[in-house]
Chains A and B, each alone.
Chain A
Amino acid sequence: MNTKTTTEKKKPKLDFDSGWNYSPSPESTGHIRLEKRYDHFINGQFVKPAGGKYFPSINPATEKVIAEVAYGDERDIDKAVKAARNAYEKVWKKMPGAERGKYLYRIARIMQERARELAVIESMDGGKTIRESRDVDTPLAAAHFFYYAGWADKLEYAFPNRKISPVGVAGQIIPWNFPLLMAAWKIAPALACGNCVVLKPAETTPLTAMKLAEIIRDAGLPPGVVNIVNGDGKAGAALVNHKDVDKIAFTGSTDVGKIIQRAIAGTKKKATLELGGKAANIIFEDAAIDQAVEGIINGIFFNQGHVCCAGSRLFVQESVAEVVIRKLKDRMSTLIVGDPLDKNTDIGAINSKEQLGKINEYLKIGVDEGAEMWQSKCSIPSNGFFCRPTIFLNVSQSHRIVQEEIFGPVLAIQTFRTIDEVIEKANNTPFGLSAGVWTDKGSKIFNLTSKLRAGVVWANTYNKFDPTSPFGGYKESGFGREGGLHGLQPYLNLK
Chain B
Amino acid sequence: MTRTTIKKTYKLYIGGQFPRTESGRYYPLLDKKKNVIADICLASRKDFRNAVVAARSAFGGWSSRFAFNRSQILYRIAEMMEGRKAQFLEELLVQGSSKVNAEKEITLSIDRLVYYAGWCDKYQQISSSVNPVASSHFNFSVPEPTGVVAIVAPQNSSLIGIISVVAPVIAGGNVCIVLASEKFPLCAITFAEVLATSDLPGGVVNILTGKISELLTHMSSHMDVNALVYAGKDQKEITLAKENASLNVKRVFVYDDVWEKGTAQSPHFILDVQEIKTTWHPIENVGAAGAKY
Within 8 A of A (CB), among B36-83: 64
B215 at the interface (CB under 8 A from A): no
Contact of A457 among B135, B137, B238, B277 (CB under 8 A): B277
B122 at the interface (CB under 8 A from A): no
Give chain B's interface residues, CB within 8 Å of chain A. Answer: 64, 126, 129, 131-135, 137, 139, 141, 144, 146-147, 226, 235, 238-243, 245-249, 251, 268, 275-282
A31 at the interface (CB under 8 A from B): no
Interface centre among B242, B278, B281 (most CB of A within 10 A): B278
The smallest beta-carbon distance between B144 and chain A, in angstroms, is: 8
Of all chain A residues, the one with the shortest Cβ separation from B271 is A489
In Å, the complex CA distance between A335 and B150 comes to 48
Interface of A is mostly: mixed
Contact of A262 among B137, B246, B280 (CB under 8 A): B246
The smallest beta-carbon distance between B264 and chain A, in angstroms, is: 13
Q: Can you report 9 residue pairs joining A to B where beta carbons are below 8 Å apart?
A: A254-B249, A258-B249, A261-B245, A262-B243, A265-B246, A450-B144, A455-B278, A484-B131, A484-B278
In Å, the complex CA distance between A477 and B268 comes to 23
A30 at the interface (CB under 8 A from B): no
Of all chain B residues, the one with the shortest Cβ separation from A160 is B126
Interface size (A, Cβ < 8 Å)? 46
Tell whether, in the assembled complex, residue A449 and residue B279 are in contact, meaning their CB atoms are under 8 Å apart: yes
Of all chain A residues, the one with the shortest Cβ separation from B247 is A258
Tell whether, in the assembled complex, residue A275 and residue B249 are in contact, meaning their CB atoms are under 8 Å apart: yes
A479 at the interface (CB under 8 A from B): yes
Q: Interface segment, A67-75, A390-398, A468-476?
A: A468-476
In Å, the complex CA distance between A470 and B276 comes to 8
In Å, the complex CA distance between A259 and B247 comes to 9
A366 at the interface (CB under 8 A from B): no
A464 at the interface (CB under 8 A from B): yes
Tell whether, in the assembled complex, residue A472 and residue B139 are in contact, meaning their CB atoms are under 8 Å apart: no
In Å, the complex CA distance between A474 and B145 comes to 10
Known: A262-B243, A468-B133. 16 other contacts (CB 8 A): A257-B249, A261-B249, A265-B239, A266-B243, A275-B249, A455-B277, A456-B278, A461-B281, A464-B139, A466-B133, A468-B139, A470-B141, A470-B276, A486-B141, A486-B276, A494-B268
Contact of B279 among A162, A459, A476, A486 (CB under 8 A): A459
In Å, the complex CA distance between A445 and B138 comes to 13
- Assuming A464-B280, A469-B141, is B246 touching A258 (CB within 8 A)? yes
Of all chain A residues, the one with the shortest Cβ separation from B280 is A458
Please indicate the chain A residues that have their CB under 8 angstroms from the CB of B226 in the complex: 475
A454 at the interface (CB under 8 A from B): yes
Tell whether, in the assembled complex, residue B137 and residue A484 are in contact, meaning their CB atoms are under 8 Å apart: no
Please indicate the chain A residues that have their CB under 8 angstroms from the CB of B243 in the complex: 262, 265-266
In Å, the complex CA distance between A484 and B278 comes to 11
Of all chain A residues, the one with the shortest Cβ separation from B243 is A265
Tell whether, in the assembled complex, residue B242 and residue A466 are in contact, meaning their CB atoms are under 8 Å apart: no
Of all chain B residues, the one with the shortest Cβ separation from A465 is B133
Tell whether, in the assembled complex, residue B129 and residue A457 are in contact, meaning their CB atoms are under 8 Å apart: no
A333 at the interface (CB under 8 A from B): no
The smallest beta-carbon distance between B55 and chain A, in angstroms, is: 16
Tell whether, in the assembled complex, residue A479 and residue B278 are in contact, meaning their CB atoms are under 8 Å apart: no
Tell whether, in the assembled complex, residue A466 and residue B277 are in contact, meaning their CB atoms are under 8 Å apart: no
Please indicate the chain B residues that have their CB under 8 angstroms from the CB of A273 in the complex: 249
Interface of B is mostly: mixed
Tell whether, in the assembled complex, residue A143 and residue B134 are in contact, meaning their CB atoms are under 8 Å apart: yes
Tell whether, in the assembled complex, residue B141 and residue A479 are in contact, meaning their CB atoms are under 8 Å apart: no
Please indicate the chain B residues that have their CB under 8 angstroms from the CB of A471 in the complex: 278
In Å, the complex CA distance between A258 and B249 comes to 6
A215 at the interface (CB under 8 A from B): no
Tell whether, in the assembled complex, residue B281 and residue A261 are in contact, meaning their CB atoms are under 8 Å apart: no
A356 at the interface (CB under 8 A from B): no
The smallest beta-carbon distance between A423 and chain B, in angstroms, is: 10
Tell whether, in the assembled complex, residue B281 and residue A459 are in contact, meaning their CB atoms are under 8 Å apart: yes
Please indicate the chain B residues that have their CB under 8 angstroms from the CB of A461 in the complex: 137, 280-282
Of all chain B residues, the one with the shortest Cβ separation from A275 is B249
The smallest beta-carbon distance between B229 and chain A, in angstroms, is: 14
Closest 3 CB pairs of A and B: A265-B242, A261-B246, A466-B133
A60 at the interface (CB under 8 A from B): no
In Å, the complex CA distance between A486 and B278 comes to 11
In Å, the complex CA distance between A481 and B245 comes to 19
Please indicate the chain B residues that have their CB under 8 angstroms from the CB of A275 in the complex: 249
Tell whether, in the assembled complex, residue A468 and residue B246 are in contact, meaning their CB atoms are under 8 Å apart: no
A370 at the interface (CB under 8 A from B): no
Of all chain A residues, the one with the shortest Cβ separation from B129 is A485
A478 at the interface (CB under 8 A from B): yes
Please indicate the chain A residues that have their CB under 8 angstroms from the CB of B147 in the complex: 453
Of all chain A residues, the one with the shortest Cβ separation from B223 is A430
Tell whether, in the assembled complex, residue B129 and residue A474 are in contact, meaning their CB atoms are under 8 Å apart: no
A298 at the interface (CB under 8 A from B): no
Please indicate the chain B residues that have their CB under 8 angstroms from the CB of A494 in the complex: 268
In Å, the complex CA distance between A470 and B129 comes to 9
Tell whether, in the assembled complex, residue B277 and residue A464 are in contact, meaning their CB atoms are under 8 Å apart: no
Q: Residues 404-417 of chain A: 1 if any B CB is under 8 Å from the residue's CB, otherwise 0?
A: 00000000000000
